A and B are shown apart, each in its own frame.
Chain A
Amino acid sequence: MSKGTVNINVHHVTRIEGHGNIVLNARNGKIEKLEWQVPEAPRFFEAMVRGRSYEDIQTIVSRICGICSISHSLVATKAVENAIGVEVSEQTDKVRLLMHFSEQFQSHVLHVGYLVAPDLFGAPSVVPLVAKAPDAVKTIIGLHRLANEWSELIAGRITHPVTLRPGGMTKVPTEKELRELQDRIKKCMPNLKVVADVVFSVAGNLPNFERPTEYISLKQDKPPTYTFYHGEIGSTDCEDTVPVNAWKSVANEYVVDQSTAKWAKWHRDSYAVGALARFNNNAEMLSSGAKAIAKKFGLKKGCCNPYMNSIAQLAETVHVAEAAIQLIDQLLTKGVKPETVRVSPRAGKASGAVEAPRGILFHEYEFDRKGNCVGADCCIPTNQNHANIQKDFEKLVPEILNESEDSIRLKLEMLVRAYDPCVSCSTHMLDVQFVE
């Protein structure tokens, strides 16, 4: 086969959540077809919540994604509360944030440790790494377990939380449990450094590729926070933030033939969300330990190498650990009390936003006066990244077309993985026409 002639058809990229295909046909240096395809079975959640009580929404939509079920439950609960006009206590807000941190920690450790690291070590999965780097794998497993037990304590279980309800929590952790959790998080900090050192030792295998794009994430100025949970929509392409309720003017979703998931664009042809987007918008608000990680890897604000998303995740893992230690202090200082929740439904329509581990996530619901859902619309981080992945492909492939087919395939797969896509998520919730 002559140079510049490749036929790559990765039917279902492995080590990602959900089903995606990579197709590249090139002849004599000319690209004939290059597509990031999403054939995942669509699941129609927005139709499924119609007619359901406001109390059941987060239980249903949590099932959009097993990996970011906490983010889906939290954003749904926030949107429902906004729609029916319920405010939650400061304690509830803080406990939920602590729950959200556990998911960032869990998801990032899973992604960097189990799904990305094998590429950097030249292994097909984490299993052969057990023999290659047993101590590192053991450390990663220990961190993953901590994250899961942290979720279990606050959310009632690891996946699909059962302690959230509109207006509050069904159960809050005791002060003793919080102190024990805080102690364990403090003790894990050296292990995070070990993982960072291991990734650093193979970071040279991260491809050197750049493509400037728009980065979108939540931004919070008051108080200045590296936010995952509060704030408005911010972009590296504009100074002003946009209120969460206006998210449709940001996402501008559209349907394309190569995908069962919708695509999104704002100021350019495509935009990116996720850890690198949050970093590019909010880096100066990272905790000191997280800043040290970014510095070690040479990750600077304005970075437009998508492969560096995994490094931004590493920095964020340290950030949420340090932020959680502080948050638990705040909870303990005020004392934790059980709360009674009384909510009366009313008609309304509103949105909510949180940062899922893989990027900004929007849900919107409308309810009738009995509190039954008459319309829903959700916009998933991976949807927002699909167009950006395609545009990255289009810039990357001409730059590497002289390399071997195996090398091109690996770099394309690694690129998809770097976005930490949740493909089944992205095909689950799309646009909806509200029933008038």
Chain B
Amino acid sequence: MAKPKIAIFDFACCEGCQLQIVNLEEEILDLLGGADVVEWREAMSEKSDEYDIAIIEGSITRLEDEERIKMIRSCAKVLIALGACATIGGINKLKNNFDLDEVKKCVYGKAAGKAHLRTGLTKSVGEVVQVDYAVPGCPIDRKEFTYIVRSLLMGKKPEIPEYPVCVECKAAGNPCLWQYDQVCLGPIIRAGCGARCPSNGFRCFGCRGYVDSPNVDAAKDVITRYGLNIDDLKTKMVLFGSKQEPTIYE
């Protein structure tokens, strides 16, 4: 059987998720030994239009980018969304909370009307084309990426955790950050990161997106128990979860 061809493409993002692939060091050669990497602009000069697996980093913000992702989708048998920008729109979606013309004026001043500065609403890749597999996180977790790619190369369906960060945080033996007045999103965010932020004393800010059925009531209970404000929770949820379910009502 011929080796599957992999191509890696980037849209609006910081390219930090691609960097995590580079950060696999020798393991890249081992992992990708089972495949041919035919295009990866950040690391290689080779280019190709023929690939089986397309890995997409970044969110979609312009019409020309929508056309480009549709073209890539039509070439690829399997499409993987890489990282928060691609899977949930990520930090780029914060922009959608404002009026777009105002956003442009804010950044580019009087030049905002120039054609090359046009921008649309930020979309995740899945809002434009069908996504087969998602690697969540900002940035992605290298181990999880390796697991997902390896599973696919072996013809298996990868499974990612369906439980919240609190589970992994408890297992890591961390004190609950709510006890330290931090508005932590651990109760509603998808695990799989090993609760890395809370383990470093930093609240979960939700970069992996919500679990499929987040326990919003439990999150409300926690806020009430610590005498904090529901607006605090909503503000923190907006960081990576702008314009996404679940919405928390009073």
Chain A residues in contact with chain B, CB under 8 A? Answer: 12, 14-18, 39, 41-44, 46-48, 50, 52-53, 56, 59-60, 63-67, 69, 110, 114-115, 118, 124-127, 130, 138, 141, 144-145, 148, 156-160, 162-163, 165, 170-171, 255, 257, 259-260, 424-425, 429-433
Chain A residue nearest to B110 (CB atoms) is A255
Min CB gap B184→A, angstroms = 12
CB of A44 within 8 A of CB of B114, answer no
CB of A17 within 8 A of CB of B197, answer no
CB of A53 within 8 A of CB of B235, answer yes
Cα distance A130–B119 in the bound complex, in angstroms: 41
* Cross-chain contact of B14 among A39, A63, A257 (Cβ < 8 A): A63
Cα distance A55–B129 in the bound complex, in angstroms: 35
Instruction: Given A42-B119, A60-B94, decide whether A66 and B109 contact each other with a Cβ distance below 8 A.
Output: no
Cα distance A141–B28 in the bound complex, in angstroms: 11
Cα distance A138–B205 in the bound complex, in angstroms: 36
CB of B23 within 8 A of CB of A43, answer no
Chain B residues in contact with chain A, CB under 8 A? Answer: 11-20, 22-23, 25-26, 29, 37, 40-47, 58, 61-62, 65, 90-92, 94-95, 98, 102-109, 111, 114, 116-117, 119, 138-139, 196-197, 199-202, 205, 235-236, 239
Chain B residue nearest to A148 (CB atoms) is B23
CB of B201 within 8 A of CB of A56, answer no
Chain A residue nearest to B92 (CB atoms) is A43
Cα distance A50–B45 in the bound complex, in angstroms: 38
Query: Which of A144, A145, A171, A255 has the most C-beta atoms of chain B within 10 angstroms of its own C-beta?
Result: A255
CB of A171 within 8 A of CB of B46, answer no
Chain A residue nearest to B44 (CB atoms) is A125
Instruction: Given A69-B14, A257-B116, A430-B107, decide whether A15 and B202 contact each other with a Cβ distance below 8 A.
Output: no
Q: Which residues of A contact B199 (CB under 8 A)?
A: 156
CB of A124 within 8 A of CB of B45, answer yes
* Cross-chain contact of B197 among A63, A144, A162 (Cβ < 8 A): A162
CB of B107 within 8 A of CB of A60, answer no
Min CB gap B60→A, angstroms = 9
CB of A431 within 8 A of CB of B109, answer yes
Question: What 6 A-B pairs have minimum CB-CB distances, sorted nearest first?
Answer: A66-B16, A170-B201, A125-B44, A156-B200, A255-B111, A48-B94
Add 20 more A-B contacts to A47-B95, A65-B14, A159-B16 (CB < 8 A): A14-B41, A15-B44, A41-B12, A41-B58, A41-B119, A46-B106, A47-B103, A59-B205, A65-B16, A125-B45, A138-B26, A144-B22, A156-B197, A159-B19, A170-B200, A255-B108, A255-B109, A255-B111, A424-B13, A433-B109
* Cross-chain contact of A12 among B41, B90, B94, B138 (Cβ < 8 A): B41
CB of A145 within 8 A of CB of B107, answer no
Q: Which residues of A contact B104 (CB under 8 A)?
A: 44
CB of B107 within 8 A of CB of A141, answer no
Q: Which residues of A contact B13 (CB under 8 A)?
A: 66, 424
Q: Which residues of B contact A433 (CB under 8 A)?
A: 105-106, 109
CB of B14 within 8 A of CB of A64, answer yes
A contacts with B: majority SS:
loop
Cα distance A182–B111 in the bound complex, in angstroms: 50
What would 29 A/B residue contacts be, using CB atoms closer than 8 Å?
Answer: A41-B62, A41-B119, A42-B119, A46-B106, A46-B107, A47-B106, A53-B235, A56-B239, A60-B239, A63-B91, A63-B138, A65-B16, A66-B14, A69-B16, A124-B44, A125-B43, A127-B37, A127-B44, A144-B25, A156-B196, A159-B19, A159-B23, A160-B16, A162-B197, A255-B108, A259-B116, A430-B107, A430-B108, A432-B107
Q: Which residues of A contact B25 (CB under 8 A)?
A: 141, 144-145
Cα distance A257–B102 in the bound complex, in angstroms: 20
Chain A residue nearest to B60 (CB atoms) is A41
Cα distance A432–B105 in the bound complex, in angstroms: 8
Q: Which residues of A contact B42 (CB under 8 A)?
A: 14-17
Q: Which residues of B contact A159 (CB under 8 A)?
A: 16, 19-20, 23, 139
Cα distance A432–B107 in the bound complex, in angstroms: 5
Q: Which residues of B contact A162 (CB under 8 A)?
A: 196-197, 200, 202
Q: Which residues of A contact B40 (CB under 8 A)?
A: 125
Min CB gap B17→A, angstroms = 7
Cα distance A114–B117 in the bound complex, in angstroms: 32
Min CB gap B149→A, angstroms = 17
CB of B117 within 8 A of CB of A260, answer yes
* Cross-chain contact of A171 among B16, B106, B116, B200 (Cβ < 8 A): B200
Min CB gap A191→B, angstroms = 14
Q: Which residues of B contact A17 (CB under 8 A)?
A: 15, 42
Instruction: Given A170-B200, A170-B202, A431-B108, decide whether A67 and B46 contact each other with a Cβ distance below 8 A.
Output: no
Cα distance A367–B168 in the bound complex, in angstroms: 35
Q: Which residues of A contact B45 (CB under 8 A)?
A: 14-15, 118, 124-125
Cα distance A348–B11 in the bound complex, in angstroms: 35
CB of A41 within 8 A of CB of B61, answer yes
Instruction: Given A14-B44, A50-B98, decide whether A44 and B106 contact each other with a Cβ distance below 8 A.
Output: yes
Cα distance A18–B58 in the bound complex, in angstroms: 11
Cα distance A259–B92 in the bound complex, in angstroms: 20
Q: Which residues of A contact B14 (CB under 8 A)?
A: 63-67, 69, 424-425
* Cross-chain contact of A43 among B47, B61, B138 (Cβ < 8 A): B61
Q: Which residues of A contact B12 (CB under 8 A)?
A: 41, 43, 424
Min CB gap A377→B, angstroms = 9
* Cross-chain contact of A160 among B29, B117, B139, B201 (Cβ < 8 A): B139
CB of A48 within 8 A of CB of B91, answer yes
CB of B61 within 8 A of CB of A163, answer no
Cα distance A190–B64 in the bound complex, in angstroms: 49
Chain A residue nearest to B111 (CB atoms) is A255
Q: Which residues of B contact A158 (CB under 8 A)?
A: 19-20, 23, 139
* Cross-chain contact of A44 among B15, B44, B107 (Cβ < 8 A): B107
Q: Which residues of B contact A16 (CB under 8 A)?
A: 42
Min CB gap B182→A, angstroms = 9
Cα distance A82–B95 in the bound complex, in angstroms: 26
Query: Which of B11, B104, B139 has the most C-beta atoms of chain A within 10 angstroms of its own C-beta?
Result: B139
